Amino acid sequence: MTGEGLTGGCQCGAVRFHVGGLGRGSICHCRMCQKQFGAFYGPLITSKDLTWTRGEPKWFRSSNKARRGFCADCGTPLGYQPDGEAVELAIGAFDDPAAAAPSIQVNPNDKLSFVDGLPTLPMRGAVDSPQLAAFNASVISYQHPDHDTAAWPRPGGLPS
């Protein structure tokens, strides 16, 4: 699976990356990761042989021990890097996040009490709403596709 590595990038496509392989994947419950991702935890996986193949992240120095990368154009959280160590990439930024499953939870002290129950929440949306499904089908996405592209933005450009 990792013979040719894996690719990914931000939502708008200004930043793209390639990794030769992956280390440990985790979900980190600490409040710093919650804030970086605007979410309940940080889904991160250690990169091996990381190359930024288009653009580069902007970095926020979250403490004197680590920095956190994101796309300055669209905001996608891209990674976390402790000083002197490999970048841990945001799993959702991979083109195929299913291939980068986490194997461990870390920093449970800040874990939100409702996290473990999320998978059992009732489901809503396009699965039971033809109206919403039709609306979704009408949307023209400006998100970068889940594979590398020769040039981006696409011909015709993105709205400013």
Partner 1 sequence: MSEVRITGGCQCGAVRYALHEQPTNPHICHCRMCQKAFGSFFAPLFSVSVDAFAVTRGELAIFMSSDVAERGFCRACGTPLTIHDVGDATICVSIGSLDEPAKLAPAHQYGVEARMPYFAALATLPGETTTEDDIPGKAATIARTNHQHPDHDTAAWPPVRPDNRHD
Interaction residues for partner 1, span 45-104 (CB under 8 A): 58-78, 90-93, 97-98, 101-104
Between strands 88-90 and 16-19, the pairing is unpaired
| Cβ proximity to partner 1, 20 vs 126, nearer residue | 126
Residue 130: CB minimum distance to partner 1, A: 14
Helix (H, G, I), strand (E, B) or coil at 159: coil
What is the spatial distance between Cα 78 and Cα 69, in angstroms, rounded to a whole number? 5
With contacts defined by CB under 8 A, how many residues of the chain interact with partner 1?
77
Of the chain, the end-to-end C-alpha distance in Å amounts to 38
Q: How far is the CB of 81 from partner 1 (least distance, A)?
A: 13
Question: Which residue, 2 or 99, is less far from partner 1 as judged by CB?
Answer: 99
Contact track, partner 1, 2-31, x by CB under 8 A: --------xxx-------------xx--xx
Contact set for partner 1, span 99-128 (CB under 8 A): 101-109, 112-119, 121-127
Least Cα distance to 15 among 157, 152, 140, 142 occurs for 152
Between 51 and 136, CB nearer to partner 1: 136
| Listed residue (68, 74, 69) closest to 10, CA to CA | 74
Tokens of 2: 């990792």
* Other Cβ atoms within 10 Å of 16 Cβ, number: 22
Residue among 3 and 138 whose Cβ is closer to partner 1: 138
Closest distance between partner 1 and the C-beta of residue 103, in Å? 7
* 51 DSSP assignment: E
- The number of residues making up the chain comes to 160
121-160 positions binding partner 1, by CB under 8 A: 121-127, 139-144, 146, 158-159
